[in-house]
Amino acid sequence: MQRWIFCFIAGFLAVFCFHQPALGLLHSAGVVPFAPFSLAATQPLGVPSVVSAGFWGGLWAIVMMLVLNRLGSSLIWLKAALFGGIALTAVAVLVVFPLKGYGLDMAQLPGRFIIGFILNACWGIGTIVFIRVLPH
């Protein structure tokens, strides 16, 4: 049980230390219109958006480690980046965005996927960084 709590913490921290700073860089470059570390309330609980992202990052870290444990430890950094970049982005674009009313505009799909891939690959790498460097 401690191992999974530790994975959750690593994924949570990766949102704040890797995903959101990458979003800040993309926002500063004018690639995305929204700024990082948003405190806007999410529905239905009214939790700040960045805290919600951290929570989901923690849950996804557990899933990622279950998958990576089955795939072996070679090329772990690449596998983590690909897992975050592909799995999280696919779920966001195909499930979360439509649920939030953003729709599935096929013209915007490639751009959303590329941006999501970059942000979520950073999260995946960050999660591995925290799993490797934090004492457990």
Whole-model pTM: value is: 0.93
Output the pLDDT for position 101. 83
How does pLDDT run across 70-97, given as a tens digit for each residue?
998 899 999 999 999 999 999 999 898 8
Domain extent for 67: 2-133
Map tokens 């949102």 to a residue: 15
Residue 83 is which amino acid? Answer: F
Give the pLDDT band (50/70/90) at residue 115: very high
Helix ranges, the chain (H): 2-14, 20-28, 49-71, 76-82, 89-91, 97-99, 109-133
The total of structural domains in the chain comes to 1
Which pair of structure tokens corresponds to residue 92? 């966001």
For the cut 90, the answer to whether the pLDDT of residue 107 exceeds it is no
Contact 36, 115 (CB under 8 A): no
